[in-house]
């Protein structure tokens, strides 16, 4: 299947109707990526994050976060630091309807760590929506792969760390978060 590409607004309509919920990766997608960030003062939203979330919230579409945080398992950040960073994200971007967090290391082999579907399935269940009606927006291939594995739709918003192969494999891409949200809403503002 050939990936859908967009590069300008107005964006192309999404292939199906509005999602029942939109889940976002945290680091590199909603906020600038600071590896193993345990310092809430270093949290900075990416451009258009607030606007993208506002579009969804005004339509009553639940929003959530699905994030791998292996720094906890690796002993690089404490649980309280993780909670403080997540609180700061909400202070800057508003409340999220659900948070699904994998604290495992990659070698733990858990079912929740993206690209496994566990976080997406967990968030969808907590929101009471079918995974097939969920969209996951992220900056790397594991975000899109987790969506696919859960039966959800994925949208990739590439950053400098996104590998070219991940961009080519993504079913949908967008140049920024606001465009990604408009894409899944069929261009509605």
Q: Which residues are catalytic?
A: 25, 27
What does DSSP say about strands 21-24 and 153-156: parallel, antiparallel, or unpaired? unpaired
Q: Give the span between the Cα atoms of 173 and 164, in whole angstroms.
A: 12
């Amino acid at each position: 299947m050939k990936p859908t590409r967009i590069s300008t607004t107005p964006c192309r309509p999404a292939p199906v109707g509005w999602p029942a919920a939109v889940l976002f990766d945290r680091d590199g997608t909603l906020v600038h990526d600071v590896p193993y960030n345990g310092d809430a003062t270093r949290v900075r939203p990416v451009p258009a994050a607030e606007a993208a979330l506002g579009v969804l919230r005004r339509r009553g579409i639940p929003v959530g976060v699905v994030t791998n945080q292996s720094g906890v398992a690796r002993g690089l950040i404490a649980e309280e630091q993780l909670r403080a960073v997540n609180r700061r994200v909400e202070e800057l971007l508003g409340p999220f309807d659900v948070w699904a967090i994998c604290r495992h290391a990659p070698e733990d082999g858990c079912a929740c760590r993206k690209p496994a579907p566990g976080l997406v399935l967990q968030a969808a269940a907590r929101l009471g929506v079918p995974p097939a009606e969920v969209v996951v927006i992220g900056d790397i291939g594991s975000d899109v792969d987790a969506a696919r594995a859960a039966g959800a739709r994925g949208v990739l918003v590439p950053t400098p760390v996104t590998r070219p192969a991940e961009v080519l494999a993504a079913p949908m891409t967008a140049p920024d978060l606001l465009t990604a949200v408009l894409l899944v809403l069929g261009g509605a503002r």
